Amino acid sequence: MRSDEFYMTRALAVAERGRGRTSPNPLVGAVLVDAEGVVVGSGHHAIAGGPHAEIVALRAAGARARGATLFCTLEPCAHVGRTGPCAPRVAEAGVARVVVAVQDPNPLVSGRGTALLRARGVAVADGVCEAEARAINRPFFSVMTRRRPFVTMKVALSADGRISEAPGVRTSLTAASANRFIHRERAEIDAIGVGSGTVLIDDPRLTARGAYRHRPLVRVVFDTRLRTPASAKLFSTLDAGPVIILTTPEAARSAPRRVAALTRAGADVLEVEPSPGAVGMMRAGDAGGGHVDLAGALEQLAVRGISSLVVEGGPDLHRAFWDAGLVDRVQIFRTPRELGSRGPTWLPAVAAGNGWSAARPRTLGVDLLMEGYVHRAD
């Protein structure tokens, strides 16, 4: 038999087969290995609500599970949800030892799965490849421990650090290769967010094109002033996924006809009550209309099953998310084009790399992707 890390790495690769299909549930992989080190069964969680990875692996192994070691990228569950619980099934199958990468952050499980296994006489080791196991499930951990989606802030910048030719002018910067990458990512995330300014200027569809997407993609407009027009392209692509307009109770009260028009167009208009002392108020600028409490908005999105959100802009929305400390990952697409001094710049400190760690840049055709995680204590 090889090292625990060797088989766990394999289980992590197996878990990846579910990518894009399991949300809001986690990616999970399981591998059963006999005393000689032969893999006798493996399985992954293929779709939310479907059988858990451990059960798929146990079924594949049949009687050969007896005396085997189970490598599991997430602690086996101990609760009855849509399926489960898995931990008793693992014990009943005669598995001798269970190696777990990371404890399940789900409060229904968290520690109970491994405790149950130990109580039934199964040897348990945990923390094997823990960092990797957390990394494949950042959205799931985010929702379970912080009750909000994992947030990526994405932007395209010109060589001279501008976001457009001039304020309010639609400017597309990235070339074909980066665009393919962006659409592949869109195929995996749960939701895309933009400010109402971006809808007015760009009229984007915010769909995943040229990449297979398994589920509807939720499009979210942060719209304090209810400026989104009912004629927006977002509403002609409702078959790609629902559109949520996040606004304030105040704006909804003062513009009932706009709410009605947006609802008729197919929007789900969601009023976010500003919580006392809320962080992440998005200012509506000089036109008035109050604030959207971003933290409260994210909580509402999590309740709707959204575990990952990519915030595409514009700069006011980016600034509000950043200042509220609600960004987890930064993605900057650097393009070779120069836009000149009429073009607005983007959060200068973030563009300079403050507050986050950029990994080695990745080349995507003529463009460069700088991506990294935000420094945070939690």
Cα–Cα distance between 373 and 365 in angstroms, integer? 23
- Confirm or reject binding of residue 112 to ligand AOF (CB under 6 A): no
Residue 104 partner contact from ligand AOF, Zn ion, none using kind-dependent CB cut-offs of 5 to 8 Å: ligand AOF
Residue 72 beta carbon to ligand AOF: minimum distance, rounded to whole angstroms = 7
CB–CB of 40/157 below 8 Å?
no
Residue 53 partner contact from ligand AOF, Zn ion, none using kind-dependent CB cut-offs of 5 to 8 Å: ligand AOF
Residue 52 beta carbon to Zn ion: minimum distance, rounded to whole angstroms = 3
Which one from 5, 16, 36, 54 is the annotated catalytic residue?
Answer: 54
- Confirm or reject binding of residue 74 to ligand AOF (CB under 6 A): yes
Residue 198 beta carbon to ligand AOF: minimum distance, rounded to whole angstroms = 33
Nearer to ligand AOF, 139 or 280 (CB): 139
CB–CB of 297/246 below 8 Å?
yes
Question: What string of H, E and C letters represents the secondary structure of the chain?
Answer: CCCHHHHHHHHHHHHHHHCCCCCCCCCCEEEEECCCCCEEEEEECCCCCCCCHHHHHHHHHHHHHCCCEEEECCCCCCCCCCCCCHHHHHHHCCCCEEEECCCCCCCCCCCHHHHHHHHCCCEEEECCCHHHHHHHCHHHHHHHHHCCCEEEEEEEECCCCECCCCCCCCCCCCCHHHHHHHHHHHCCCCEEEEEHHHHHHHCCCCCCCCCCCCCCCEEEEECCCCCCCCCCHHHHHHHHCCEEEEECHHHHHHCHHHHHHHHHHCEEEEECCCCCCCCCEEECHHHCCCEEEHHHHHHHHHHCCCCEEEEEECHHHHHHHHHCCCCCEEEEEECCCCCCCCCCECCHHHHCCCCEEECCCEEECCEEEEEEEECCCC
Stretch 68-87 residues interacting with Zn ion (CB under 5 A): 77, 84, 86
- Confirm or reject binding of residue 335 to ligand AOF (CB under 6 A): no
How are strands ordered across the β-sheet holding 29-33?
Answer: 39-44, 29-33, 69-72, 97-100, 123-126
When binding is defined by CB under 6 A, the residue of 2, 59, 66, 82 that contacts ligand AOF is 82
Cα–Cα distance between 357 and 9 in angstroms, integer? 25
When binding is defined by CB under 6 A, the residue of 2, 16, 62, 83 that contacts ligand AOF is 83
Residue 15 beta carbon to ligand AOF: minimum distance, rounded to whole angstroms = 8
Nearer to ligand AOF, 49 or 336 (CB): 49
When binding is defined by CB under 5 A, the residue of 21, 44, 52, 148 that contacts Zn ion is 52
Residue 42 beta carbon to ligand AOF: minimum distance, rounded to whole angstroms = 12
Active-site residue flag, 54: yes
- Confirm or reject binding of residue 109 to ligand AOF (CB under 6 A): yes
When binding is defined by CB under 6 A, the residue of 4, 11, 65, 84 that contacts ligand AOF is 84
Residue 151 beta carbon to ligand AOF: minimum distance, rounded to whole angstroms = 20
When binding is defined by CB under 6 A, the residue of 104, 185, 223, 328 that contacts ligand AOF is 104
Stretch 195-234 residues interacting with Zn ion (CB under 5 A): none
**What pairs with residue 97 in β-bridges?**
69, 123
Cα–Cα distance between 363 and 181 in angstroms, integer? 11
Nearer to Zn ion, 61 or 221 (CB): 61
User: By rule CB under 6 A, what string of x and - marks binding of each residue 27-66 to ligand AOF?
Assistant: -x----------------x---x--xxx------------
Region of 51-59, 103-111, 146-154, 233-241 interacting with Zn ion (CB under 5 A): 51-59
When binding is defined by CB under 6 A, the residue of 81, 111, 210, 361 that contacts ligand AOF is 81
Residue nearest to ligand AOF (CB): 81
> Contact residues for Zn ion (CB under 5 A)?
52, 77, 84, 86
Q: Which residues bind ligand AOF (CB under 6 A)?
A: 25-26, 28, 45, 49, 52-54, 74, 77, 81-84, 104, 106, 109
- Catalytic residue ranges: 54
